[in-house]
Amino acid sequence: MATLVLEKLNLWYGRHTHAVRDVDLVVEDGELCVFLGPSGCGKTSTLRMIAGFVKPTSGKIYLDGEVINDLYPGDRNVAMIFQSYALYPHLTVREQLAFPLKAKRTPRQEIAQRVEEIAHFLHLEDFLDRYPQELSAGQRQRVAIGRALIRKPKLFLMDEPLSQLDARLRVEMRASLRKLQQELRITTIYVTHDQTEAQGLADKIMVMHQGRVQQVGKPIEIYENPANLFVAGFVGMPAMNFLRGVFLRGEGVEFRGNGMRIPLSSGLGERVAPLEGREVILGVRPEHLMLARGREENVIRGEVYVVEPQSNEYIVDVKFGGEIVKVRLEKREFASPPRPGEVIEVTFEDRYLYLFDPVTEKRLL
């Protein structure tokens, strides 16, 4: 049961690499917080500072109100699941599970009992005398989880724990990890670059980019209310469409960019009035676009360029002036699949429009 607080955390590798910049974060007791970002964004470095493998250059790490910056990893009561699982090739599953307890000089009787318990809990009873090389990827992962759980840590750290599994197992393990964490209510930090994983698991997501925190929030907030261009583009599949242009007032307000124009609804027109004449980046998610069916406001009209059929929908690339706009459309909306070259009109509701400053990349609307 623990609260983790990061305060102005900074990490320099040598003199030239500023891996983590001014990270502030509060993770409440029992929360599962995902660090999300592309590789090299500083998420793993932040995790390693929490584990104690690297010492922050400046800033503080509080665990339950105590500064643990200088504490030895083994004194933090933190457990970790590594990307590679870090199972010892020279120990059997039983020995792996007992390994953390032996460090604390737990009586032998108790070790044996706890190993049995955890093996039962994770369905590992039949593999106790095997070596890691003799296990499947899924079993290895369960052993790694078991080794982390067995000493009842305050804080659970997971570094891309699912990345070594194949797609199906990954989805399965994702669900069981979530269930496990909710049952045990252990505060957890989970590092990943996979936003689907983040959306599915997290109570709270911290999006990182170039060492900086971009946004912290509930998964739904991150998705619906991205704080800036990076978060908007990183979260969501396929990524949000971005169009560069300016708002101009004619009969109504319209957005003009590279060989294209979008006439806006009057409601939107009013809201963007302060931005008129200024270059902005307009963002709209592929899943928020729908067939216009005669509507004339917020319409994107263009030629079908590529069609990717999915199981129940089409992902259509629409050639819109000099830009390409991706659109997700349900199959049942079409009598026959859209064909390249066909003209298509799609529209979006006012509330699904996002605007960003092209220079600061901050969200404007």
> Under 8 Å CB-to-CB from 263, ≥6 apart: which residues?
252, 254, 296, 297, 298, 299
Compute how many other C-beta atoms are within 10 angstroms of the C-beta atom of residue 263: 17
Q: Which two tokens stand for residue 46?
A: 């932040």
Which positions from 331 to 350 touch other proteins by CB under 8 A, shown as an x/- string?
A: --------------------
Q: What x-and-dash track marks residues 96-125 binding other proteins by CB under 8 A? A: ---xx--xx---------------------
CB of 200 closer than 8 Å to CB of 29: no
Minimum CB distance to other proteins smaller for 44 or for 214: 44
Quick check: 38 binds other proteins (CB under 8 A)?
A: no
Confirm or reject binding of residue 66 to other proteins (CB under 8 A). yes
Question: In this complex, which beta carbon is closest to other proteins, that of residue 150 or of residue 282?
Answer: 150
Q: Are 207 and 235 in contact (CB under 8 A)?
A: yes
- Using the minimum distance from each CB to other proteins, give the nearer residue, 85 or 255: 85
Scanning 65-73, 107-115, 174-182, 343-351 for contacts with other proteins by CB under 8 A, the matching segment is 65-73
Q: Minimal distance in Å, beta carbon 356 to other proteins?
A: 35
Inter-CA distances, 259 with 241, 285, 359, Å: 16, 20, 22
Among 1, 13, 308, 362, which residue interacts with other proteins (rule: CB under 8 A)?
Answer: 13
DSSP states of 148-208: HHTT--SEEEEESTTTTS-HHHHHHHHHHHHHHHHHHT-EEEEEES-HHHHHHH-SEEEEE
- Binding track over 70-89 against other proteins, x by CB under 8 A: xxxxxxx-xxx-xxx-x-xx
Subset of 40-59 contacting other proteins (CB under 8 A): 51-55
What is the C-alpha end-to-end distance of the chain, expressed in Å? 39
Q: Least CB distance from residue 101 to other proteins, whole Å?
A: 9
Integer angstrom CA distances of residue 176 from 155, 183, 303: 18, 10, 44
Interface positions with other proteins (CB under 8 A): 13-14, 51-55, 66-68, 70-76, 78-80, 82-84, 86, 88-90, 99-100, 103-104, 147, 151
